[in-house]
Chains A and B, each alone.
Chain A
Amino acid sequence: AQSVTQPDIHITVSEGASLELRCNYSYGATPYLFWYVQSPGQGLQLLLKYFSGDTLVQGIKGFEAEFKRSQSSFNLRKPSVHWSDAAEYFCAVANQAGTALIFGKGTTLSVSS
């Protein structure tokens, strides 16, 4: 069965520092992968997605993610974090039938000044 693991429950980064959020997936075929961000009390906003092609994907708000098939990973990165990036981040993979997204449990990002 497909699954998504986000190993870090909570990360704190200094403003201006770089960020990497980890995501590992379990999937038999070529996965459709997503990163969403959720600000407190809000819905989920799509940051970026990978369906095929270039393994380095650019998203909104200066985020990027790299698909590494050999490591079953899809880590999210940002070179310089802003205080407004504090939120919860979810990695997800579409299931084989395409009927649902399988979500990781999320990583909460705190930004210190």
Chain B
Amino acid sequence: NAGVTQTPKFQVLKTGQSMTLQCAQDMNHNSMYWYRQDPGMGLRLIYYSASEGTTDKGEVPNGYNVSRLNKREFSLRLESAAPSQTSVYFCASSRSLKETQYFGPGTRLLVL
């Protein structure tokens, strides 16, 4: 039982490049989330998916898109990376909204 897994662990991009961050959970959870963590800011929600087939914007969605591929997988895409998107990205999942969220190990992204 791996919980929440994220790939890659670390990525360096140049400004304007695109990439997709992958997240998968094996806990049969319905809800999944993407957060970013910046120094002194705590974690802020980018997008969430309450259930398979639905996605909604969080606090800081600009510059990102998401896809809930199936119940297990929730990907985050940066279409044209900017230095302001340098951050640590965390995926989380929960059985449903308002229930405990379990976090993956994070992806460190550096945009030059």
Contact = CB atoms under 8 A, between A and B. Distances in A.
Interface residues of B, number: 24
A83 to B, nearest CB: 23
A94 B98 CA distance: 6
A43 B97 contact: no
A97 B31 CA distance: 13
Interface of A: 4, 9, 32, 34, 36, 42-46, 49, 90, 94, 97-101, 103-106
Given A43-B103, A98-B97, A90 B43 contact: yes
A99 B106 CA distance: 20
Contact of A103 (B43, B56, B102, B106): B43
Nearest to B45: A100
Contacts of B98: 32, 94, 98
A43 B105 CA distance: 4
A32 to B, nearest CB: 6
A99 B42 contact: no
Interface string B37-75: 000111111001010000010110000000000000000
A104 B50 CA distance: 23
Contacts of B48: 99-100
